[in-house]
Structure 1
């Protein structure tokens, strides 16, 4: 099932085009990363699909359009802003307040506090919590209604390394339980480690989208070594599926067409009377992909 479908979504603030015909699909069971630098339109996108911001054009629908929007949104858990709870109340008492506001029972409070590893601190006042613990309590509040999808906007923003690791583990565990997660972030490492799918946006435009592995493999890179590297380079330059070659220390980094297997390239070199001492498929990290896609972007705001 498609949990969320966005079609040519646009938003303009005066002369500023915040979103430009953005289209994507989030399918059930995925942890979907919406990745882009600050100011790229991530929060605007979330605001529109949650009914907080009115779109200038395009459309979206939840759960294949099976329900009216106001009913569909009840199946969505949300963490958009810095957590704001009563400072002198405990985690349990704060969640009781949230449950009362949302018209929910209290029966899931222990479950969600255990999910975010706060059950042992359930009676501790919120004001004594670290930033990471506060963020985890906000996730617990978003899970109270047992939503089908969890929407998180920069959930690790401002956290220390331990807080980031804790939040990463919690998000992965929630995803493993079968829930769909839509995660907006500018932190490349987190998206690569947590998400199963990703959409990269820049200035409100979609640059790339798909499974993490597919986005990373959009360019096929090989590291090649040989005793006569110059001869091998001349040989490879004659191959129609070799896009470019660049030195990498004592090796060559060879960019080839996506459908060219490393074995085929090795055979081509051998047939020219040359041999390779080193041949390695190089997996490009999401950071390299992201930086290439957003090459001329202004990383501001």
Structure 2
């Protein structure tokens, strides 16, 4: 279970996340939707333990330590950056050793995401879509139970979008938990359990699949109001 309790994050005088609290108790797909500057990326970085809140607490399965919490997650943040000259295979090997997975598992992930044939290319030579696919593939190493993907559809090529929807569906069937931020609702083919609508660092509202006749339209209505 993921719990955020009254978390606030400021950058100088700017409040990026403002006294935000919510719980996710069950596995499945959860969407975080909002305009640029709504606080989605900052929230995901807080949950991932990449930055610390000014106040409030975040726990994942009762684990509040940011470093330990991060090790439980498959994280793909926006943007994915690394040393430009490093190759795909070198990046994959670093992640493989950090996550203690076999070479065979890493090979299968790169194949699954159609990156294997580009493994000797430098990162800088990859298209935006390939970079995004690599980021998501690496987040899956070690078969985590909890995924945190920031704008995974943004910049993906058509093949990547198809692969992502397929993988999300498979993860949901395996009862994994996927938190996904996006502004591209129409690209998502897997039914989400809940949509969290964010505005100015706060939750403007929630849309639950089982209580909404038109899930996407209800989210868009909250964004407009």
TM, length-normalised to structure 1: 0.64
SS at match of 1:54: coil
Where does residue 30 of structure 1 map in the other structure?
Answer: 28
CA distance in 2, matches of 1:134, 1:13: 28
Please point out which of 67, 77, 80 is paired with 1:80: 77
Secondary structure at the counterpart of residue 171 of structure 1: helix
List aligned pairs for 1:240-279, cutoff 5 A: none
Trace 1:1-301 onto structure 2 (pairs within 5 A). Answer: 2=1, 4-65=2-63, 68-84=65-81, 91-100=88-97, 102=98, 104-107=100-103, 108-119=105-116, 121=117, 123-126=119-122, 129-190=126-187, 193-209=190-206, 211-214=208-211, 217=212, 283-286=213-216, 288-295=217-224
- Count of aligned positions: 223
CA spacing shift, 1:48–1:72, aligned 2, 3 Å: closer
> How far apart, in 2, do the equivalents of 1:123 and 1:52 lie?
27
- The answer on whether the counterparts of 2:196 and 2:203 sit within 8 Å (CA) in structure 1 is yes
C-alpha contact (below 8 Å) 1:30/1:197 kept by paired residues: no
TM-score, normalised relative to structure 2? 0.83
Is the 1:35–1:191 contact (alpha carbons within 8 Å) kept by the matching residues of 2?
no
d(CA) in 2 for partners of 1:210 and 1:284?
A: 10
Give 1:26 shift.
Answer: 2.1
In structure 2, the CA distance between the partners of 1:95 and 1:68, relative to structure 1 (3 Å rule), is same
Q: Could you list the runs of 5+ residues in structure 2 that have no partner in the other structure?
A: none
Identify which range, 33-42 or 184-193, moves more after superposition: 184-193
**8 Å contact from structure 1 (residues 171, 194) kept in 2:** no
- Larger Rg over CA atoms: 1
Question: Is the Cα–Cα contact under 8 Å of residues 62 and 69 in structure 1 kept in the other structure?
Answer: no
Q: CA RMSD for the aligned pairs?
A: 2.8
Aligned residues of 2:30 and 2:192 also touching (Cα < 8 A): yes
Q: Report how far residue 193 of structure 1 moved.
A: 4.1
1:82-130 deviation per Cα after TM superposition (whole angstroms, max 9, x unaligned)? 3345667664443113223x162434212322443444x2645255543
Note closer, same or farther for the CA distance 1:5–1:158 as it changes in structure 2 (3 Å cut): same
Matched residue SS, 2:10: strand
